Every structure is written in C-alpha cells, then in structure tokens.
Chains A and B, each alone.
Chain A
Amino acid sequence: MLRNVFGKSVTRRHVAQLRKCMTPAEEAELKHGGDNGETMNLFTAVNSALDCAMAADDKVSLFGEDVNFGGVFRCSLGLADKYGKDRVFNTPLSEQGIAGFAIGMAVMGHKPVAEIQFADYIFPAFDQIVNEAAKYRFRSGGQFNCGGITFRSPCGAVGHGGLYHSQSVEAYFAHCAGLKIVVPSTPADAKGLLLACIEDPDPCLFFEPKILYRTAEEKVNRDAFVLPIGKGRMIKEGSDVTVVGWGTLVSENGALTKAVQMAEEAGISCEFIDLRSISPWDQEMVTNSVQKTGRLVVSHEASKTNGFGAEIISTVTAECFLSLEAPPTRVCGLDTPFPLIHEKLWLPNEHKNFDAIKAAVGY
C-alpha cells in the first residue's frame, strides 16, 4: 500500500500525477510555502522532512549510528522523543548491518530511512546496496522489492574533512542500475526531495552536503510536500553557455554560483542548472539547454576520472553534437584522494570554473 507523505493511500498513477511538471513559480510557491514558510537551514529541513514522514506513516523509521540522541549533525533531533525508540534508534556500528537490516525491513513493507554517518563510510554497505537493494525487484521478476528503503548520508567538502570526511560518492552508485540518487543544494529542495525519496517505490540514496547543514538557510514550507526526482532546477536562464552542477557547488554561496556571477559581470549570459538528481538525471533539461547555448561546463567536487560529469558530457556530445560550439568541459577535483591542507586548491573553486566558462565562450 503506497502512502503519500500526507498519510493518504495513493495509487501509482496518483503518485505520477503528483510528480507532473510544475512550473518554476509553482514549485517555488510549494516549497517555500508562502505564509506557511519557516526559516530552516539544511539540517532542520531534513529534520522537518523526517518528522512529516514519520507523522504520516507509522511504517517510516529512522536508524543508524547515534541517531537516537539527535544525530551527529542534529538531523534527528527530537524524533526519538516523538516517535519512540522502536522507530528512531541507534544501531551497532556497522554500515553493512545498517544497510542489510534496512533492506529486510523494506521487504516486509516498511519504509526505513537508514543513515550512514558519513558517505566516506558507505563502502562496507556497497555490496548490500549494489548487489541486493538495487537488484531485489529485478532478480525476483517483480515478485519482491525493497523500494521502501531510503539511505541518507552526509557528503562533500566541509573545509577540514580530509580523505574521510569529504568524499562525494555519487559516481560509484550511478553506475548501478536500480538505484535512485539525489543530491539537494538548498533546504527546501532537501525537504521536498527527501520526502519524495521516502515515498518513492524504489531504493533511494539521498546525499546531504554537510557544509550546507548550517550555512544554507531559506524559507521552507512547514508542511509536507514532494519535489520530483529526476528533474533539475533551472537556477537562471541564459544564452551563452550551460553550466551544470549539484550540491554545495550550486548552493547560494557555492563556487559554481560565484563563478556564474563573475561570468555575468563579465557580460557572459549563463544558463545555470542544479541537476538535483544524479539517477535518473534530467537529460531533457540539460540537452535542451545545450542545444540553445552550444556550450557546456559541468563541475563536481568528486575526482575527475569517471565522475558523473563524464556521463553528462557523453550524453550531451551524442545528443547535441551539431549544436556544439565548443568542447564540453568538466571542472572537478583532482584524481587524488581528498587532501586536507590544500583543499581549496584541490576543489573546483570559482576561479577554475570562471576560467572554464570563459574558455567555453571564447573557443
């Protein structure tokens, strides 16, 4: 029985209708909430989404390491008090255990939200996620599924995280058929997309850029709402070059956002897209845009080789070849583990991105 975040049972068609394209204005109204909006940062928005989901459906549970007292990033503050220890609980310290346990709950019709404390530590769970969760429905011919599962995990550069508190891991999972992957860049998107993941009939990975937990802040609808998975956000329309990113880079003070501002000041009209979903990704929005502008710059924190930028550029090259005025480029982290001291130099900062935009336009 599918239930939407309002607690009402829904058919699959109803879910599809909820997902139908909203105009940007409709989406903004929905997610910021108008008079019903409340200032939230990213972790309070995540907390709000979890609260809404758990209030609407008692099959939703939340667990992982240190979740019970409120979580190391405070995302689960107050939830154990409100929903009880059976639904909001600490697990022993094992990511593969968390993942397998959650799959078993989802198979029985529950909607577990499994927290992996840092995306850098998701790898012990890789087998359960890739070999089990992603393939559960396919291998049984549709007789079984664990679609109720949502994994959520903090990701991304935080300024001092080094090798093991900074990674972006979406590329490893994007290669695996059967998973949905979402990376929000704003509090409102985080709430709407997390609720969409919890409600989604397929296993979802929801990566939360940890540096945005406290630094990103905006008005967010205090009630439940869903945003569509697989649809990007057009941050700004333009005509000279398409600029694509996700997560911290496209947040309000993100490096790609700054680069676009620098470019606009230099007279370059950028069409700026927040991809939001890595799998499935909004190929239509990106290819339509490149057919218009003829130029593409993709940027991601993750290392360059086999990062998700490679997939985007491969598709754009095939679909938009005759429209291209310049080679599509990607601005990424170096092909090294994530370093501590030289983080700012290593990352695709605003200077590297501005240079890439200028190069694309000046080709």
Chain B
Amino acid sequence: MNVMRRASVRTVRQVRRSTGLVDGPDGEVWNIDFTGHNSLTDNMAFKKAAEKPEPLYRVLDAQGECVGEAPDLTEEECRMMNKTMVRQSVMDGILYEAQRQGRISFYMTNYGEEATQIGSVSALKPDDMVYAQYREAGVLLYRGYEINKMIAQCMGTEEDDAKGRQMPIHYGSPEHHYQTISSPLATQLPQAAGAGYTMKLDNVDKVCICYFGDGAASEGDFHPALNFAATLGSRTIFFCRNNGYAISTPAVDQYAGDGIYARGVGYGIRSVRVDGNDIFAVHAATKKARELCIEHNAPVLIEAMTYRGGHHSTSDDSTRYRQKSEVDKWMSGPNPIKRFTRYLEKKNWWSKEDDKQVREETRKEVMAALQRQEKMGFWDPTELITDVFAEPTPALIKQRDEMLAHMRAHPNVYKTA
C-alpha cells in the first residue's frame, strides 16, 4: 500500500486551492492580486485603528426602554432569562460569604456580567459546546446544572463529578455540553477552534462558543485560535467578556488598539461589539452569530462590553485599585438585572413578588445544598491514580499501594474509612 507511487507533484496553485480559502482569488498565493493597477497607490499612508472605536450594538437602553429591535422571545423565555440572572446573583452572594466564613476555600462572583452569560447561552442550542474561562457559571445554571453539584465541586465532596480534583468554580459537565474549566488563561481558545472545526467536518447542527476575558485575549493562544478558525473554517463563536479589568489591570493597560473587536476584523472574522449589559443585544448577536457560523462555516467574534461588579475573586480586594463610585455607577442603572427587570415590569412580565420569590427560593436552595455538602464525605484516596490515563499503569498502581501502606502505618495521622 505504498501511496508514494500514486502521489502527484503538487503545485503551489493546487495547494492554495486545496486549503479551501473561500474569499481569495482563485489560484493565487496571497489574498490580493498586486499586479493589477487597482491594488497600487502613490499615497503612502500609515494607518492605525479606525478613528473612532466601533460603537456598541444595543437594544435596551440604560433605563430598560426598548430602543432597538427586541428579539423574538416569549414571556416565558424572558422570565426564565431574568430568573436565571437573579438566581446566579443570589448564589454568588451566599457563596462569597461562605468563603469568608471558611466554608469554601475560594470563590469568584459574576456580578454585572449575568447578561453576557445568560443572554448568549439562551440563543444557543442545548448541545452547542461551551468552552469557558471561569466567569460563566450562569451559562451552566441556565442549562440546568444543579446548584448542589456546583457547591459539591466547590467543596470537592464525593458528589463532585470531578472527584475533588480542582479548585472551586472549575465546573464541567458533559451532560450540559460545558467543558471543564482549567485555570490557565486562553488555553480554551484554540481548543474551541478545533472543536468548531469538527462540527463542520461532521456536518452537524452545532456550534462551539468560547468565552474569555479582555485580559485573556492578550495571551499567545488567542492569536492562533482566531487565525486557525478563520483560515480553516471553524464553527466557533469567540465571545469576549470585556469587563474592564484583568484583576487590577484596566483595559487601557491591556491593549492600544480598538479592543478585541478590531482583532477579529484583523483576522478576517465577522465581528461585532455589543452592550454586554443589555441582555437583548447579547441574545440577538449570539443568535445571529450562530447562523453566520453555520451558513459560512466560519468563526464569529462578539466583544461584549460589560463591567466586573465584584472583586476578581475572594483573594482580591478591588478597593485597592478602583473607586467605589465607579463600581456603584455600573452596578446601578446600567446593571443587566436592573435593566431587564425594568423592561419586564413595564410589560407586566415580571413583578416585585416574582423577584422576592425567586430570591427566597434560591436562597433556601443554596443554603440547603451548602449544609448537605458540608456533611458529605470525600472521594476515596485510591481514586488519586485514576484518570491520569484511561487505565492506571503498573507504576501508578505501585505508587498507590505504597501510599496506602503508608496510610495504614500511621492510623493516627490519616483517617481511613
């Protein structure tokens, strides 16, 4: 079966065509034909980014008035979206305090970014694959992941499907098509490009959405992710939550160009900038992005401008680098929950009683789950060597047995079952 005999010498023209560049001139090496006079100029112009930053697409104004075209959503769908945003917010409040009390070791809140999460996931199909960074818990919550499971993961108990292996908030669920979070930033971007590529190969009605922040977008992995997705044709939505801060570093210290939006354009990707605190704008853009991905077998970039209402994490005190007045400004009127609530109340699709009821129910659910998990045991130490490989190697089994013998030799130190 020696394929060498049948191989043909591939010319540059054939190779170019074979990599399937849709928009480029036929058979050429570059994307422009610089032998034609239309491609030449005698005006030497050094250009930077566009004169003005790209404006934000917006449907609901800061007062919750619909000034654009509302997406085609029912009352039930809108209520579910608002309810999920409220639930996420309530859970965040309790679990942040739980960390302060020493009940969980670490936590990250989602304040101010609820619309980026729920607005986008609500526009996708349930089996569209999600690659996230760490501030997207609302995406999982919307898809039905149990609060009990989230807290089990935060505490690493035996109800944690990830076997207590990771720090809190590193959720993942195959059932909900949400890849397990990993701490290194932006590593998920080229992976999402690959996943989106398989959806084209497999010709399935699916896209991959990839969430990341303004800081992560500076990482090395960001660039090949977009470049590969664009050149190879991945059905991937790159969704940037530009929330203004990477821990203490404001966005003005993160980039000099027109944000992440301009980079998408630079890579030849259909890109849009939206008001990330406007759930309708996020929803509409994501819905359109999904259509574009499948229609063109190409990636789309959404830059959602939003604000990180809380500290970076429980290990951060953001009062050391930003003013309270700034936080208050963003968390009042323009806040996604307040804005959408005002809109829904005007339509009589939401009431103060609904709000109170959702908050109370969520509070009870979170408290019950916390108490349940605090009584829960942990995964057996023998599980330490599982999942390194599909099957443990003899060397790993030997290490496990040495560890168990050590534990048996010191029963006063190690509590065994």
Contacts and interface: CB of A to CB of B under 8 A. Distances in A.
Contact of A101 (B170, B191, B389): B191
A89 B232 contact: yes
A52 interface: yes
A128 B195 contact: no
Task: Sort A-B residue pairs by CB-CB distance and give the 10 closest, nearest first.
Answer: A97-B224, A100-B190, A104-B194, A104-B191, A141-B162, A78-B3, A78-B7, A94-B224, A201-B390, A140-B180
Q: For chain B, which range describes its interface: under 10, 10 to 19, 20 to 34, or 35 or more residues?
A: 35 or more
Nearest to A114: B194
B194 A81 contact: no
A94 B18 CA distance: 20
Contact of B195 (A91, A108, A124, A147): A108
A77 interface: yes
Given A77-B3, A140-B172, A97 B227 contact: yes
A143 B160 CA distance: 11
A266 B10 CA distance: 53
Query: Which residue, A101, A143, A178, has most C-beta atoms of chain B within 10 A?
Result: A101
30 contacts: A38-B2, A52-B1, A69-B15, A85-B20, A89-B19, A92-B231, A94-B223, A94-B227, A97-B193, A97-B225, A99-B190, A100-B187, A100-B193, A100-B221, A100-B225, A107-B191, A108-B194, A108-B195, A127-B184, A135-B182, A138-B165, A139-B170, A139-B180, A141-B162, A141-B163, A143-B174, A144-B179, A147-B390, A178-B389, A222-B1
B413 interface: no
A100 B223 contact: no
Interface stretch (A43-51, A181-189, A296-304, A350-358): A43-51
A132 interface: yes
Interface string B214-238: 0000001101110110011000000
Interface of B: 1-4, 6-8, 10, 15, 18-20, 129, 131, 160-163, 165-166, 170, 172-174, 179-180, 182, 184, 187, 189-202, 208, 220-221, 223-225, 227-228, 231-232, 386-391, 393-395
**Which of B189, B193, B194, B387 neighbours the largest number of chain A CB atoms within 10 Å of its CB?**
B194
Given A97-B224, A100-B221, A124-B220, A142 B386 contact: yes
Given A104-B195, A107-B191, A177-B388, A140 B162 contact: yes
A102 B393 CA distance: 25
Contacts of A115: none
A90 B386 CA distance: 36
Given A12-B391, A141-B161, A143-B161, A68 B10 contact: yes
A90 B221 CA distance: 18
A230 interface: yes
Contacts, number: 201
Nearest to A315: B395
Nearest to A61: B201
Contacts of A137: 387-390
B371 to A, nearest CB: 23
A131 interface: yes
A29 B155 CA distance: 54
Contacts of A99: 190
Contacts of A153: none
Contacts of B202: 108
A117 to B, nearest CB: 15
A38 to B, nearest CB: 7
A177 B385 CA distance: 10
A177 B119 CA distance: 39
Contacts of A51: 1, 3
Contacts of A135: 182
